């Protein structure tokens, strides 16, 4: 289990975030922007900017996992309100760090200055994304199943059969084997929304290719999946029957 956890922690996105953190920390430590070159030594600057960059990345990842995008897309006002709140939180954290590092740091004036800098960076980042984002027609959508299977070890990346929730992990069963990944069932179902399969139970998602039939036992409906029985919740029974699977 620990091995799977470490593998999930070292995903391509995590490696990218670590690389960005290291580059920003070292680059800022060498150049010493915003007066840190004169105020701090090399190791002091490295520690300072490692904390600033790390805190910024960590806060961004927490926001990403909270998935506020659907709420923000409903209006421009919500997007601006969220950006303002994010900027105040991030600048507040940096402001507290400055109080500890720099003697005589002006709390309120410093926070206002930092909030303005963060807002400026946010505006530039948003404008850059809008400017360089390719048209929707030019973006080739990746097969959702193939994208999901990238989380598995290469030797177990076969056609997807089913997914089963086990505490905070998912048991992913393919034609090539089984693997455990650290992921929520809700996130997996959302990622596989366009794949040929469906969630048949709160703890089970099954690919259409793996469905072999149905059976009923003591009033409960079960889906036959490659030699295994998967429970079907009452809410999903009508959708499963509509597939025309044979009752065994």
Q: Are residues 134 and 151 in the same domain?
A: no
Q: What is the DSSP letter of 140?
A: P
| Residue 97 included in any domain | yes
Closest CA to 87 of 128, 59, 67: 59
* Containing structural domain, residue 210: 144-241
Q: Are residues 165 and 46 in the same domain?
A: no
Q: Are residues 118 and 220 in the same domain?
A: no
Q: Are residues 76 and 35 in the same domain?
A: yes
| Residue 247 included in any domain | no
Q: Are residues 180 and 132 in the same domain?
A: no
| Residue 188 included in any domain | yes
| Residue 246 included in any domain | no
Question: What's the structural domain count of the chain?
Answer: 2
Task: Give the residue from 117, 138, 159 where a domain finishes.
Answer: 138
| Residue 66 included in any domain | yes
Q: Are residues 161 and 116 in the same domain?
A: no
Q: Are residues 155 and 101 in the same domain?
A: no
**pTM confidence score:** 0.48
Task: Give the residue from 77, 110, 138 where a domain finishes.
Answer: 138
| Residue 248 included in any domain | no
Q: Are residues 215 and 112 in the same domain?
A: no
Q: Give the CATH number, domain containing residue 222.
A: 2.40.50.1020
From first to last of its 248 residues, the chain has per-residue pLDDT tens of: 444 444 445 566 677 878 888 888 898 889 888 778 888 888 988 998 888 888 887 877 776 666 555 545 555 666 666 667 777 888 888 888 888 888 888 888 888 888 887 777 666 655 554 555 555 444 445 688 888 999 999 898 999 999 999 988 999 999 999 999 999 999 999 989 888 899 999 999 999 999 999 999 888 899 999 778 999 999 988 888 888 888 87
Q: Are residues 122 and 156 in the same domain?
A: no
CB under 8 Å, gap of 24 or more: what pairs does 6-13 form?
Answer: 7/153, 8/151, 8/181, 8/182, 8/183, 9/182, 11/151, 12/150
Task: Give the residue from 90, 114, 138 where a domain finishes.
Answer: 138
- At 202, list the tokens: 């709160």
| Residue 178 included in any domain | yes
Q: Are residues 15 and 131 in the same domain?
A: yes
Q: Are residues 164 and 198 in the same domain?
A: yes
Q: Are residues 76 and 184 in the same domain?
A: no
Residue with tokens 């927490």: 62
Among left, alpha and beta (phi > 0; psi -120 to 50; other), residue 187 is alpha
| Residue 103 included in any domain | yes
């Amino acid at each position: 289990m620990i091995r799977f956890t470490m593998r999930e922690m070292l995903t391509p996105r995590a490696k990218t975030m670590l690389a960005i953190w290291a580059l920003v920390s070292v680059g800022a430590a060498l150049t010493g922007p915003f007066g840190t070159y004169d105020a701090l030594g090399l190791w002091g600057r490295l520690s300072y900017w490692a904390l600033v960059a790390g805190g910024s990345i960590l806060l961004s990842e927490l926001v990403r996992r909270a998935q506020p995008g659907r709420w923000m897309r409903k209006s421009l006002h919500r997007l601006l309100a969220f950006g303002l709140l994010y900027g105040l939180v991030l600048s507040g954290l940096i402001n507290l760090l400055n109080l500890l590092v720099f003697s005589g740091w002006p709390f309120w004036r410093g926070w206002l200055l930092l909030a303005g800098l963060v807002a400026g960076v946010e505006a530039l980042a948003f404008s850059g994304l809008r400017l360089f984002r390719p048209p929707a027609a030019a973006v080739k959508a990746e097969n959702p199943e193939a994208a999901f299977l990238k989380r598995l070890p290469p030797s177990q990346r076969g056609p997807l059969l089913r997914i089963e929730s086990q505490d905070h992990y998912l048991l992913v069963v393919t034609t090539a084997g089984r693997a455990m990944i650290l992921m929520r069932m809700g996130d997996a179902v959302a990622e596989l929304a366009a794949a040929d399969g469906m969630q048949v139970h709160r703890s089970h998602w099954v690919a259409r290719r793996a469905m072999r039939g149905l059976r009923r036992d003591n009033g409960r409906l079960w889906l036959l999946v490659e030699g295994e029985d998967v429970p079907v919740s009452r809410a999903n029974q009508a959708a499963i029957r509509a597939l025309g699977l044979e009752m065994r």
